[in-house]
Amino acid sequence: MNIVITGATGFLGSHIVSEAKKNGHNVFSLKHSAIDSSRPLLEDFAPDVLVHCGWGGVSAADRNDSKLQADNIAISKRIIELFPFKQIIGLGSQDEYGNINSIVNESQPLQPISEYAKAKIAFCNHLSNYAEQNRISWQWLRIFNMYGTGQAPNWLIPSVIKKCITGEKSMQTTLGEQQYAYLFADDFAKAVVSMFGQKGKNGIFNISSSKPLPLRHIFEQIKKLTKASIQFEFGAIPYRPNQSMMICGDSSKFTASFGNFEKTDFAEGLQMVIEEWKNKIQ
């Protein structure tokens, strides 16, 4: 199949590109800065599926930039209207649910806190209406915590790995009681590629690991795998106001429609990320 992907060089987008090519799909990377100039190229490429990963302002500093998030919506609308795609897969976020403290399914009320989350919800609503009106298959994936190779160092797991392998002596942290379910990015990419060409399975789907772990356990596991001497100062940092103590999505709707996707043991995935960081730093 011919697949168009936005955000192809990003953390999740790059994993989807790699998995799509492994499965024999042709991939066209669409840049936000080249939407209009890509129209004739898309006509020649004749894509079947659009995977919309590209979204500006994902970092914490930009999530409440209302102009930036409004621009995301406008750009996303232009992208889905570029070509009569047969299927559109959009990437949403756990942030659409707001602060959560339990395993949530898609019926959980949406209580967005950031402009980023509000923009994601607004575009999801537009996508569903547009796709239904034009008889296009569509899926919106509410993504929970991810980890894997290629993730930026400011994210939690790579930041802890980097501290461990560079020999830092200590790290201040919360008590580490909050439980987060981390899905390996390769498993996520396989899940997305398994959706290509699927018909009659429209809607919103959570995609999350089903195995939440306390952050304290995750930190200690990284320390063990890296054979580091770092000391975690648990409790040195207070929890944030309205701290989410459990972040995990119920993905049973996805697995019922597209099959199981969580294949990689957490320690196995961590080891792959650790090896990547060792090679970067050496």
Q: Would residue 243 count as lying in a domain? A: no
Q: Would residue 194 count as lying in a domain? A: yes
Q: Would residue 198 count as lying in a domain? A: yes
Q: Would residue 155 count as lying in a domain? A: no
Query: C-alpha angle 195/114/128, rounded to 5°?
Result: 35
Instruction: Supply φ then ψ for residue 192, to 5 degrees.
Output: -65, -45
Q: Evaluate whether 124 touches 80 at the Cβ level (below 8 Å).
A: no
Q: Would residue 121 count as lying in a domain? A: yes
Give per-residue pLDDT as tens, 33-44.
888 888 899 999
Q: Evaluate whether 113 touches 211 at the Cβ level (below 8 Å).
A: no
Q: Would residue 266 count as lying in a domain? A: no
Give the pair of three-digit tokens for residue 238: 């207070």
Note down the domain range covering 31: 2-148+182-208+250-259
Q: What is the mean pLDDT of residues 10-37?
A: 94
Average pLDDT over the chain, rounded to an integer: 95
Residue 114 and residue 99: Cα distance in Å, rounded? Answer: 11
Q: Would residue 111 count as lying in a domain? A: yes
What distances in angstroms separate CA 71 from CA 75, 91, 119, 190, one per listed residue?
A: 6, 16, 9, 30
pTM: 0.95
- CATH number of 100's domain: 3.40.50.720
How many structural domains comprise the chain?
A: 1
Give per-residue pLDDT as tens, 37-92.
888 999 999 999 999 999 988 877 788 889 999 999 999 999 999 999 999 999 99
Give per-residue pLDDT as tens, 158-214.
999 999 999 999 999 999 999 999 999 999 999 999 999 999 999 999 999 999 999
Looking at residue 266, what is its pLDDT? 96
What distances in angstroms separate CA 37 from CA 53, 82, 107, 250, one per listed residue?
A: 19, 11, 40, 40
